[in-house]
């Protein structure tokens, strides 16, 4: 695929404040060309293993390779398969085999170049090898730039469930070149927007309003709205993670839209619906559920539905029985002592976490059809 010419903008930096494990997120159009400088400036040197897949390597491998070589780093590529099927213990172990074979040392660097899949598996391998080597995330999808590369969750899937195996492991630095979004399939971009909308709903009504005002420019990937959007999402996630790194309280609000979303995603066998598409529907439905429980106004539901629609996402639950949905919702990781906990909006920018009763959800489901 032809790459668009290098385009620079000013660099935005978001600090993630985690004491000794603090790190910066750098956001800039054209940043891939400066990866070598970024690593050097943060005091890193030596060998760099780049974990990526063939799609991303073909698009961006040579830019990253020459940028690193220019600063005397010695890059080496490891490819994993494209998509979710790479997120297995088997592939994590293959990455580690290569690190052992190359006699990688604790001071060498592991760099993830790709979307959430590559970031999750590479971070997990980095956390395990010699009990942890420096890890850099270079996020190339919208999901990775607003969500997965920030917060230190790494891991792989078990055959009985997604992300069941993993570790909290913070990177040394996260780099985001907004230009990489230009080669991303439209469907992936739109799916990423679901998580963006989520941040507005859970944390920042002004940001939600910004999305309402700029959604068309965002869909066209105009530089300034895109940079601002990524920065704001990273700030919000960084803020939430700094307050609750290990998800014992506040971090749960990031699961807004995900109780119903995960259920729909698992029912579609992780194939028909991609994660963000399921979260888009989940947010509208959870807002509607909150309205039916008397927790928010109808205006909240309307604004939630409209922005989801304008972003190009669906909002309706596919045809199914309540019992099917309820069973799938019970498999969610956020079930505590058998109770389903769900994040519900109280207003735009404000949510709370409530236990769900089967009776009231059933009533809502019957009425909303």
Ligand X SMILES: NC(=O)c1ccc[n+]([C@@H]2O[C@H](COP(=O)([O-])OP(=O)(O)OC[C@H]3O[C@@H](n4cnc5c(N)ncnc54)[C@H](O)[C@@H]3O)[C@@H](O)[C@H]2O)c1
Catalytic residue IDs: 131, 153, 195, 237, 247, 251, 255, 258, 262, 275
Strand order in the sheet with 339-347: 335-336, 339-347, 350-356
> Of the candidates 63, 73, 80, 114, which one interacts with ligand X according to CB under 6 A?
114
Binding track over 24-53 against ligand X, x by CB under 6 A: -----------------------------x
> Of the candidates 15, 81, 83, 161, which one interacts with ligand X according to CB under 6 A?
83
Task: Report yes or no: 157 and 110 within 8 Å, Cβ to Cβ.
Answer: no
151 binds ligand X (CB under 6 A): yes
> Of the candidates 27, 63, 125, 144, which one interacts with ligand X according to CB under 6 A?
144
Q: Which CB atom, from 301 or from 308, has the smaller least distance to ligand X?
A: 308
Task: Report yes or no: 51 and 111 within 8 Å, Cβ to Cβ.
Answer: yes
55 binds ligand X (CB under 6 A): yes
Tokens linked to 66: 């020459």
Binding region for ligand X (CB under 6 A) out of 99-107, 178-186, 228-236, 243-251: 178-186
Task: Report yes or no: 332 and 258 within 8 Å, Cβ to Cβ.
Answer: yes
Task: Report yes or no: 36 and 63 within 8 Å, Cβ to Cβ.
Answer: no
117 binds ligand X (CB under 6 A): yes
- Residue 107's nearest CA partner among 45, 23, 49 is 45
CB of 271 to ligand X, least distance (A): 13
Tokens linked to 92: 């994590």
143 binds ligand X (CB under 6 A): yes
CB of 63 to ligand X, least distance (A): 12
Q: Which residue is nearest to ligand X (CB)?
A: 116
> Of the candidates 163, 209, 217, 223, which one interacts with ligand X according to CB under 6 A?
163
137 binds ligand X (CB under 6 A): no
95 binds ligand X (CB under 6 A): no
Count the residues of the shown chain that bind ligand X, applying the rule CB under 6 A. Answer: 27
Q: Which CB atom, from 152 or from 200, has the smaller least distance to ligand X?
A: 152
Q: Which CB atom, from 153 or from 232, has the smaller least distance to ligand X?
A: 153
Q: How far is CA 295 from the centre of its chain?
A: 28
Q: Are strands 47-52 and 109-114 parallel, antiparallel or unpaired?
A: parallel
Q: Which CB atom, from 186 or from 319, has the smaller least distance to ligand X?
A: 186
CB of 331 to ligand X, least distance (A): 15
161 binds ligand X (CB under 6 A): no
Q: Are strands 23-28 and 12-16 parallel, antiparallel or unpaired?
A: antiparallel
Q: Which CB atom, from 192 or from 301, has the smaller least distance to ligand X?
A: 192
Tokens linked to 255: 């699961």
Q: How far is CA 351 from the centre of its chain?
A: 20
- Residue 264's nearest CA partner among 337, 179, 181, 324 is 324
Tokens linked to 342: 């769900």
CB of 125 to ligand X, least distance (A): 14
261 binds ligand X (CB under 6 A): no
> Of the candidates 82, 212, 244, 306, which one interacts with ligand X according to CB under 6 A?
82
Task: Report yes or no: 144 and 116 within 8 Å, Cβ to Cβ.
Answer: yes
Binding site for ligand X (CB under 6 A): 53, 55-56, 59, 82-84, 87, 114-118, 120, 140-141, 143-144, 147-148, 151, 153, 163, 180, 183-184, 188
């Amino acid at each position: 695929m032809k790459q668009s010419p290098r385009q620079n903008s000013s660099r935005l930096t978001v600090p993630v404040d985690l004491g000794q494990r603090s790190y910066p997120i750098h956001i800039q159009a054209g940043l891939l060309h400066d990866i070598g400088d970024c690593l050097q400036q943060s005091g890193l040197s030596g060998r760099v293993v780049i974990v990526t897949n063939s799609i991303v390597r073909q698009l961006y491998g040579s830019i990253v390779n020459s940028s690193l070589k220019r600063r005397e780093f010695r890059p080496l590529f490891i490819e994993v398969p494209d998509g979710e099927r790479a997120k297995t213990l088997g592939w994590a172990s293959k990455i580690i085999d290569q690190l052992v074979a190359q006699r990688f040392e604790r001071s060498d660097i592991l760099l993830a170049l790709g979307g959430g899949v590559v970031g999750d598996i590479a971070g997990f391998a980095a956390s395990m090898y010699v009990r942890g080597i420096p890890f850099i995330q270079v996020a190339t999808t919208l999901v990775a730039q607003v969500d997965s590369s920030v917060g230190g969750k790494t891991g792989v899937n078990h055959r009985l469930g997604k992300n069941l195996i993993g570790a909290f492991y913070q990177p040394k630095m996260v780099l985001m070149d907004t230009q990489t979004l230009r080669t991303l399939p439209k469907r992936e971009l739109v799916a990423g927007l679901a998580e963006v909308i989520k941040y507005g709903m859970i944390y920042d009504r002004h940001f939600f309003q910004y999305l309402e005002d700029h959604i068309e420019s965002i869909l066209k990937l105009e530089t300034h709205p895109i940079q601002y959007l990524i920065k704001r999402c990273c700030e919000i996630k960084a803020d939430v993670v700094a307050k609750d790194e290990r998800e014992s309280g506040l971090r749960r609000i990031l699961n807004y839209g995900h109780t119903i979303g995960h259920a729909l995603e698992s029912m579609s066998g992780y194939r028909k619906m991609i994660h963000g598409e399921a979260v888009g529907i989940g947010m509208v439905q959870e807002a509607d559920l909150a309205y039916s429980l008397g927790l928010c106004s109808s205006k909240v539901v309307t604004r939630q539905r409209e922005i989801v629609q304008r972003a190009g996402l669906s909002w309706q639950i596919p045809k199914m029985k309540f019992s099917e949905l309820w069973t799938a919702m019970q498999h969610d990781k956020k079930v505590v002592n058998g109770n389903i906990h769900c994040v519900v909006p109280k207003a735009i920018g404000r949510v709370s976490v409530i236990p769900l009763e089967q009776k009231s959800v059933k009533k809502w489901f019957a009425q909303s059809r």
